[in-house]
């Protein structure tokens, strides 16, 4: 008896009963579809279809009402939206199109236009039946893969001119099971080839792949009703915007899955990305940030505790991955990840991180000083790095007059820089600052302006609230440069945008993330709904949403804007603008900005550091643009060796700039990187020369317009410039 026959026999009623459309559809699909290679199945294991509960149906109705009547985006539940939910749900369940066939799609397409009406009234069975079908197909594919491995990977042929598509999200669905079999043979060949090229022997490769697929198979058999409901609801809520989502009761306990603050973990924010868990950002001062190897957009493949065997977590629920990563302080967790810049999901690396708490003082603002000599003139530039916008709310509420906060700390650092070093200008480094406390962004702007509005917040009813700096005192009134990159988000964008709008300083770096929305968490009868309820706007009227803050002077970054950022997210709210609010303009840079850019480009054209950065960016872009890889061993080996040579060349060129001895092999480089990570010595050369460039741009401002020095009297500028 096949899996399909056994499934139908167990779940078909003895006499006809009334069953849901998709339940009958699922059974029909399981009987009619061709099966291809039959796997050796543990007879004790059968997939038990999951079913919706009454609590879930009630929660669905509440979610539908909240989305239609309280979300910032005015969007009704229509037939068009029904089709979009269907597509998004399949994207979540089979985003790489490796489980379902066109035969499957032809049958389940019958309900595509009916999902919207069902979601309004809590009829969840259609979504659950699609989920059950996909889970069954996942089981079949994994059993096929395990059979192929058991048959021996030495039988695979790597002498042909075959290739495999790296990203199948836009590929055609395979016609039938036979076509899927051929695709999965290619997938396994690709995985074997990648590990062979890394020097892994066949026995270890077989063991690695077997453990991976057995782990995924076990998860598929253990599917729960809540898994289906959360996946279905998030396909639904995601139609409004990517930050609106449903949290199951279990996931609600780990809201935002932020392993920071008092939690003992690695200090990373994670999210589900189809069958993977993806790193969204690193918490400043956290273990992962200090260790230096884990990066945003890395995808986690497996997790290992201390010296134990790794546990494959592909297909796991987000909350369970988080539970596995968390652990006792000072213990070590090893993450096998697919690097964000990997050209192929079979390329992984293992990162060992010592767990610890993220302490507030380790996220605090810090200062430094750089000295510049330009044509006989010396400049002293103060640098303040702000990793996050923080405030010790407990100490604040307890009335502690010395409670820590971003604004208080930066004010003190400015005083120290001016009194101890007599700085000519100031660079505020907001790179990789993912935001934090909104009121701190508001107060921080107030350190650099006389008084006035800092940000506008508009809700779904078009009511606009304006936050203001009411304190006329100014902590620093000299030349100012603000550094940003793609990971500067939310509160960082509010600060950078306000400094730009007031003409208070120049923004230098790369376009920011574009997170300009505000969410609220609302309780349901079953779980919670995080819903977008308002949007940030700059004092000049433009939103920070989607577009972010565009720097006045751009510096390229290794970060891929197509993969990271608000505009990389499906259904992100668009950029728009509202009326500006009256605000002063302290300096008009239009008269000198072209010259500032010319000088910057001239410096960078002669900069060995920038040349290396650009070379690395081009190399990473080339890897990301690969749409397929060869399954021919000789061809793939040649490509692999070329990639290794390029990596080694760039690394050695950077070492030579520092006067260090070059590495003989890539293995030497990787050993050194592991050692550096273990010693938490992660000085980034890119940070050093970009900060210095910020100082040079500040010096350019003073040289081109001595009036920049008179920014020391903001009220005079306010009197000279008309309100906008």
Which helix (H) or strand (E) segment holds residue 453: the answer is: strand 452-459
- DSSP conformation class of 574: P
Secondary structure E strands in 323-423: 332-338, 349-354, 366-374, 377-385
Q: Give the CA-trace dihedral at 60, 66, 67, 68, to 10 degrees.
A: 110
Burial tier of 645 (Cβ tally within 10 Å: 0-12, 13-18, 19+): exposed
Can you give the length of the chain in residues? 724
Strand partners, 282: 268
d(CA 557, CA 555): 7
List the alpha helices (DSSP H) in 198-343.
202-221, 225-237, 249-252, 287-291, 318-325
CA 193 vs. chain centroid, Å, equals 29
The angle subtended at Cα 526 by Cα 113 and Cα 247, nearest 5°, is: 75
Strands 528-537 and 452-459, by their bridges, are antiparallel
Provide φ and ψ at 639, rounded to 5°: -65, -40
d(CA 219, CA 630): 31
Burial tier of 435 (Cβ tally within 10 Å: 0-12, 13-18, 19+): buried
Secondary structure of residue 301 in the 3-state scheme = strand
**Residues 383, 367 contacting (CB under 8 angstroms):** yes
d(CA 120, CA 40): 43
Strands 480-484 and 425-429, by their bridges, are parallel
Q: Provide the token pair at 206.
A: 């077989």
Q: Provide the token pair at 400.
A: 């502690």
Residues 6+ apart with CB under 8 A from 463: none
d(CA 238, CA 249): 19
d(CA 317, CA 16): 36
d(CA 246, CA 524): 10
DSSP codes joined into one string, 607-638:
-HHHHHHHHHHHHHHHHHT--EEE--HHHHHH
The order of strands in the sheet holding 506-509 is: 366-374, 377-385, 425-429, 480-484, 506-509, 553-554
**Residues 239, 84 contacting (CB under 8 angstroms):** yes
**Residues 314, 301 contacting (CB under 8 angstroms):** yes
Secondary structure of residue 327 in the 3-state scheme = coil
Q: Which residues are catalytic?
A: 490, 501, 515
């Amino acid at each position: 008896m096949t899996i399909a026959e056994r499934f139908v026999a167990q779940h078909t009623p003895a006499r006809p009963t009334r069953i849901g459309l998709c339940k009958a559809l699922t059974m029909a699909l399981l009987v009619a579809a061709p099966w291809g290679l039959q796997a050796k199945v543990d007879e004790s294991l059968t997939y038990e279809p999951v079913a919706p509960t009454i609590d879930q149906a009630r929660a669905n109705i509440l979610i539908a009402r909240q989305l239609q009547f309280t979300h910032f985006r005015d969007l009704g539940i229509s037939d068009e939206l029904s089709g979009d939910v269907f597509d998004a749900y399949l994207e979540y369940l089979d985003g790489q199109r490796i489980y379902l066939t066109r035969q499957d799609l032809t049958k389940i397409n019958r309900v595509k236009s009916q999902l919207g009406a069902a979601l309004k009234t809590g009829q969840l069975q259609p979504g659950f039946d699609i989920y059950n079908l996909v889970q069954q197909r996942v089981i079949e594919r994994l059993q096929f893969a395990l059979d192929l491995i058991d048959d021996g990977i030495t039988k695979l042929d790597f002498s042909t001119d075959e290739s495999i598509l790296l990203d199948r999200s836009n590929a055609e669905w395979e016609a039938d099971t036979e076509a899927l079999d051929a695709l999965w043979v290619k997938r396994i060949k690709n995985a074997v080839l990648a590990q062979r090229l890394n020097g892994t022997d066949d026995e270890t490769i077989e063991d690695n792949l077997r453990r991976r697929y057995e782990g995924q198979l076990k998860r598929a058999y253990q599917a729960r009703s809540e898994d289906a409901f959360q996946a279905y609801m998030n396909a639904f809520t995601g139609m409004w915007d990517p930050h609106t989502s449903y949290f199951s009761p279990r996931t609600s306990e780990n809201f935002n899955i932020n392993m920071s603050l008092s939690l003992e973990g690695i200090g990373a924010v994670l999210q589900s990305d189809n069958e993977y868990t993806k790193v969204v950002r690193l918490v400043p001062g956290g273990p992962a940030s200090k260790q230096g190897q884990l990066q945003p957009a890395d995808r986690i493949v497996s997790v290992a505790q201390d010296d134990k065997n790794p546990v494959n977590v592909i297909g796991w629920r987000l909350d369970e991955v988080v539970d596995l990563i968390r652990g006792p302080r000072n213990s070590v967790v090893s993450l096998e990840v697919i690097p964000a810049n990997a050209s192929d999901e079979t390329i992984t690396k293992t990162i060992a991180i010592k767990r610890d708490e993220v302490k507030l003082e380790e996220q605090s603002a810090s200062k430094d000083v750089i000295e510049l000599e330009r044509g006989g003139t010396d400049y002293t530039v103060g640098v303040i790095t702000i990793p996050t916008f923080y405030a010790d709310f407990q100490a604040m509420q307890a009335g502690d007059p010395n409670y820590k906060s971003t604004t208080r700390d930066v004010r003190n650092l400015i005083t120290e820089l001016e009194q101890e070093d007599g700085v000519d200008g100031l660079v505020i480094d907001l790179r990789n600052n993912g935001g934090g406390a909104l009121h701190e962004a508001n107060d921080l702007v107030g350190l650099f302006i006389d008084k006035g509005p800092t940000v506008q917040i508009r809700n779904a009813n078009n009511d606009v609230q304006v936050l203001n700096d009411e304190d006329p005192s100014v902590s620093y009134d000299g030349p100012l440069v603000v550094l940003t990159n793609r990971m500067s988000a939310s509160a960082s964008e509010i600060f950078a945008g306000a400094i730009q709008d007031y003409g208070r300083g120049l923004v230098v770096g790369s376009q920011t993330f574009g997170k300009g929305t505000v969410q609220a968490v609302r309780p349901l009868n079953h779980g919670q709904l995080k819903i977008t309820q308002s949007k940030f706007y700059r004092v000049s009227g433009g939103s920070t949403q989607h577009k972010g803050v565009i720097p006045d002077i751009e510096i390229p970054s290794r970060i891929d804007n197509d993969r990271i950022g608000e505009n990389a997210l499906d259904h992100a709210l668009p950029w728009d603008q509202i009326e500006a609010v009256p605000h002063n303009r302290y300096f008009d840079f239009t008269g000198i900005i072209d010259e500032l850019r010319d000088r910057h480009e001239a410096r960078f054209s002669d900069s060995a550091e920038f040349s290396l950065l650009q070379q690395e960016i081009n190399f990473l872009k080339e890897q990301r643009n690969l749409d397929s890889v060869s399954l021919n061993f000789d061809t793939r080996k040649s490509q692999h060796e070329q990639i290794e040579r390029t990596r080694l060349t760039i690394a050695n060129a950077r070492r030579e700039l520092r006067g260090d001895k070059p590495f003989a092999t890539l293995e030497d480089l990787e050993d050194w990187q592991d050692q550096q990570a273990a010693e938490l010595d992660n000085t980034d050369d890119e940070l050093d020369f970009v900060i210095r460039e910020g100082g040079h741009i500040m010096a350019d401002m003073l040289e081109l317009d001595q009036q920049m020095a008179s920014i020391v009297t903001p009220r005079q500028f306010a009197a000279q410039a008309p309100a906008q």
